[in-house]
């Protein structure tokens, strides 16, 4: 297969920030054997739709690989950074070489680039994004602000996506499988795990819209309880927790005891702790 006559540069703002487009060394597009390409260990996508892959393979069989993949060179070949679907589809189409751009990238940048490419192509579901952002925080010690800069999104967007990891595992699986949308999942945040499971089942079985789901959650929270104590420990606590979460931008749990109670504020990095400390103290040490 001959290389495309024109180099594709539409990588988007996020990828462009991560991959310099004018570099004197290693900037040329080259053809490399697919057999020498190893998969990206930081690939955030967990699911690949076979039919979509087959459609891409059919297109590649007719037109070739129009956008080069991104790889980093290793001792015994290349490691894929971005373009997993193109490589797999090229194999399905019977190609043995693909066009590639070679860059030397740190591990954290390899994950960030993979996230950006998949997000821009709408190839990641919300849970895959959330797990990828959490990996950048836990394994590479990036702050939410640094992640936002690298992937070209606002910090509150990153924080809201990370909050999906607070959902009951069965609900997370439903989001990952595409059974419920991210908007449905957000509406369930702040409710008890058992309630989340019931509401998720209702969304699927009744075909509820996001707005209908939000209204159902609101009615459940506002539903009168049999006693004043029940009203206090159910609806009021849920609303207080939600208001605190919105104000602080992180998970907050409120638990009442017979006398008093406790408020638990969670944080996921030193930078996040510093931000919460400043917010709670008004910036005074």
pLDDT at 230: 47
pLDDT at 123: 66
Q: Are 231 and 239 in contact (CB under 8 A)?
A: no
- How do residues 9-26 score in pLDDT, each as one tens digit? 333 334 444 443 333 344
Alpha helices in the chain, H assignment, sequence order: 12-18, 50-63, 84-92, 107-120, 126-138, 144-151, 155-163, 169-176, 182-188, 193-206, 210-222, 228-231, 237-248, 270-281
Q: Give the rounded distance of the alpha carbon of 58 from its chain centre.
A: 29
Given CA atoms 204, 205, 209, 210 in this order, what sign does their dihedral have?
A: negative
Distance CA 70, CA 52 (A): 21
Residue 5: pLDDT band (50, 70, 90) is very low
**Chain-wide mean pLDDT for the chain?**
78
pLDDT at 223: 66
Which of 62, 89, 63, 75 is closest to 8 using CA atoms? 63
**Weakest mean pLDDT among 83-97, 159-173, 192-206, 237-251:** 237-251
93 Cβ neighbours under 8 A, 6+ residues apart? 57, 58, 60, 61
Assigned token pair, 85: 């679907």
Half-sphere exposure of 27 (CA within 13 A, CB side): 10
Going by the DSSP 8-state scheme, the letter that residue 154 receives in this structure is -
Residue bearing the bigger pLDDT, 50 or 200 = 200
Distance CA 135, CA 112 (A): 10
Domains of the chain: 12-122 (3.90.1530.30), 168-223 (no CATH), 240-285 (no CATH)
**Whole-model pTM above 0.75?**
no
Going by the DSSP 8-state scheme, the letter that residue 228 receives in this structure is H
Q: Where is mean pLDDT largest: 2-11, 27-36, 235-244?
A: 27-36
Mean pLDDT of 181-201: 90
Distance CA 180, CA 223 (A): 25
Distance CA 24, CA 284 (A): 48
Which of 151, 133, 123, 135 is closest to 47 using CA atoms? 123
Enumerate the active-site residues: 84
β-strands 69-74, 97-102 pairing: parallel
Distance CA 228, CA 133 (A): 41
Q: Are 115 and 44 in contact (CB under 8 A)?
A: yes
3-state secondary structure of 174: helix
Residues of 179-190 as b/e, b for ≥16 C-beta within 10 angstroms? ebbbebbbbbbb
Distance CA 33, CA 21 (A): 23
β-strands 97-102, 77-82 pairing: unpaired
Distance CA 104, CA 204 (A): 45
Residue 187: pLDDT band (50, 70, 90) is very high
């Amino acid at each position: 297969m001959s290389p495309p006559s024109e180099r594709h540069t539409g990588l988007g703002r996020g990828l462009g920030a991560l991959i310099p487009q004018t570099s004197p060394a290693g900037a040329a597009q080259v053809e490399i054997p697919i057999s020498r390409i190893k998969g990206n260990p930081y690939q955030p996508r967990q699911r690949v739709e076979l039919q979509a892959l087959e459609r891409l393979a059919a297109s590649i069989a007719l037109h070739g690989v129009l956008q080069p993949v991104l790889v980093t060179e290793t001792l015994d070949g290349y490691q894929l950074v971005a373009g997993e679907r193109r490589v797999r589809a090229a194999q399905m189409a019977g190609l043995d070489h693909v066009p590639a751009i070679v860059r030397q990238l740190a591990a954290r940048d390899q994950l960030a680039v993979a996230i950006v490419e998949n997000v821009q192509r709408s190839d990641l579901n919300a849970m895959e994004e959330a797990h990828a952002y959490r990996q950048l925080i836990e394994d590479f010690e990036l702050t939410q602000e640094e992640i936002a800069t690298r992937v070209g999104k606002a910090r509150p967007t990153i924080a809201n996506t990370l909050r999906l990891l607070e959902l009951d595992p069965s609900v997370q699986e439903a989001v990952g499988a595409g059974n419920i949308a991210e908007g449905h999942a957000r509406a369930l945040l702040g409710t008890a795990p058992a309630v989340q499971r019931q509401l998720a089942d209702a969304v699927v079985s009744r075909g509820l819209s996001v707005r209908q789901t939000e209204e159902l959650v609101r009615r459940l929270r506002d539903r009168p309880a049999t006693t004043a104590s029940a009203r206090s420990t159910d609806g009021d606590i849920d609303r207080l927790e939600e208001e605190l979460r919105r104000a602080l931008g992180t998970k907050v749990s409120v638990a009442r005891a017979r006398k008093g109670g406790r408020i638990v504020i969670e944080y996921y990095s030193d930078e996040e702790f510093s931000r919460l400390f400043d917010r709670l103290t008004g910036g005074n040490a």
